[in-house]
Amino acid sequence: MRVTVFSSQTYDKEFFIAHIRAISADIDFDFQEAKLTDQTAILAKDADAILVFVNDHLDRSVIDQLISFGIKHVALRCAGYNNVDVEYAKEQGMSVSRVPAYSPQAVAEHTIALMMSLNRKLHKAYNRVKESNFDLNGLLGFTLHHKKVGVIGTGKIGQSVVNILQGFGCDILCYDIEESEQIKQTNAQYTSLESLVTQSDIITLHCPLTPETEHLINDERIEKMKEGVMIINTSRGKLIDTKAVIKGIKSKKIGYLGLDVYEQEEDLFFKNRSSEIIDDDVFQRLLTFPNVLITGHQGFFTQEALEEIAETSINNLLNFNKDERNESCFLC
């Protein structure tokens, strides 16, 4: 089976090859650094299937090209699938698989890392101490114990975040369109989205990007938030209207912003751009604030998660080949 891998990095190659060798599977991977677009789809012309990541776009025209090459399967090596027109793929007889859960704890732990670093200003303290500056002025944090944390989306990652925060003694408010029985057995309380937004000291986003959740954090909701609120997004960039958030930071309504994802990350993240002029004024503005901490979509990036991603993606490809589709991984 020949599989073209788009947006591949050295670590993808390392983990996929290691797993292929471990199970002696007969898959011939063609690792391409290029992101999948209308222009790069041609790289898959000799493949039987493709393996893609979060910023590879499979709209109608890309799907049409892939179908014309005879490709019948798209394996996503991630959980979210907002970048794929799944309905259209299905109509065209193309199947799509994903990795529904690869160490949700990894993303949850990164969420907490952003929260803690912003609160205790570790990003500033690190630089100060490196320069023998031990002045504490400007590093004042708050005690997390008994702070109200609002968790939006209580699926696998949201639940793991709730579990960790309960260890800190936080009061947790949750919102989800489908309430979880596991959450109900804890001290966390479900409430409406608007009440969560109004009451929380920290708001953390763990729902998928859908037409309903796009710009869930917008001008109107920011207006209702507590003065000095902390917002954390490790889910998908478009959950936040970045321009609205910048306004909120300038007016001091938002006291802290932690992002692992960004609305326009597609043309930015996963590459070393340190010698380039970044042509995104909104992102550059975000970087100027002392109370904003951004990481480049690394929430998933642990040894354990990469092993699980390789294992499940390869299983999905082998299952497609055997015409065995398990519901948890196959979207169509």
- Mind telling me the catalytic residues? 236, 265, 297
> Segment contacting ligand NAD (CB under 6 A): 30-38, 90-98, 171-179, 274-282?
171-179
DSSP 78-146: SS--TTB-HHHHHHTT-EEE--S-S-HHHHHHHHHHHHHHHHHTHHHHHHHHHTT----TT------TT
Task: Quote the Cα angle for 216-217-220, to 5°.
Answer: 100
Give SS3 for 217. strand
State the minimum distance, in angstroms, from the CB of residue 159 to ligand NAD.
8
The torsion of the CA quartet 251, 257, 261, 263, rounded to 10 degrees, works out to: 0
State the minimum distance, in angstroms, from the CB of residue 5 to ligand NAD.
18
Report 261-320 residues binding ligand NAD (CB under 6 A).
261, 297, 299-300
Which residue from 236, 237, 249, 257 is in contact with ligand NAD, where contact means CB under 6 A?
Answer: 236
| Contact residues for 87 (Cβ-Cβ < 8 A; gap 6+) | none
DSSP structural state of residue 161: H
User: What is the C-alpha end-to-end distance of the chain, expressed in Å?
Assistant: 20
Determine the residue with CB nearest ligand NAD. Answer: 155
User: What distance in Å separates the CA atoms of residue 106 and residue 78, rounded to the nearest whole number?
Assistant: 13
Q: Is 154 in the site for ligand NAD (CB under 6 A)?
A: yes
State the minimum distance, in angstroms, from the CB of residue 329 to ligand NAD.
13
Which residue from 35, 121, 156, 221 is in contact with ligand NAD, where contact means CB under 6 A?
Answer: 156
Which residue from 86, 152, 197, 309 is in contact with ligand NAD, where contact means CB under 6 A?
Answer: 152
| Contact residues for 327 (Cβ-Cβ < 8 A; gap 6+) | none
Which residue from 17, 129, 139, 177 is in contact with ligand NAD, where contact means CB under 6 A?
Answer: 177
> How many residues contact ligand NAD, by CB under 6 A?
30
Which residues would be at the binding site for ligand NAD (CB under 6 A)? 79-80, 101, 104, 107, 152-158, 175-178, 206-208, 210, 212-213, 234-236, 260-261, 297, 299-300
